[in-house]
Amino acid sequence: MAVPHHAPAGSLAVKIPKGHTPSKPVVHFSHDKHTKIQCTSCHHTWNGKSQLQSCSSKGCHDRFDSKQGKRSFHKAFHSSKTISCLGCHKSLKKKKAAKYGPRSCKDCHKK
């Protein structure tokens, strides 16, 4: 399934919501580079009909006080499971995919 027409074009800044202090630079994410995967691979609670919500929406990855737990904002992007950015990229590299994305802090969190 290709990225739906309502997905943001270009680069989307993934940043910690106001009131929380980031420990690393903002990550810039491109939906355009992820058109070959299902939307629900990342937006795992989406029903395919309603408006997509931010990862940090209430009830999803809205915990900023810990890097652990399924509601952790950090874990949404850094889990070893394929549902996270890092987990997916590492899995693709392990499968020897032609393209697999960044897997280190400095490759995502560019100054």
Question: Residue 34 pLDDT > 70, yes or no?
Answer: yes
Tens digits of per-residue pLDDT, 50-68?
A: 888 888 888 899 998 888 9
Question: Residue 24 pLDDT > 80, yes or no?
Answer: yes
Q: What is the pTM of this model?
A: 0.82
The predicted model gives 43-52 an average pLDDT of 87
The predicted model gives 74-92 an average pLDDT of 92
Q: Give the residue, 81 or 8, on which the prediction is more confident.
A: 81
Range list of β-strands (E), 1-111:
11-14, 27-30
Phi-psi region of 44 (alpha: psi -120 to 50; beta: other; left: phi over 0): alpha
Q: Map tokens 């890092």 to a residue.
A: 86
Looking at residue 7, the DSSP 8-state letter turns out to be S
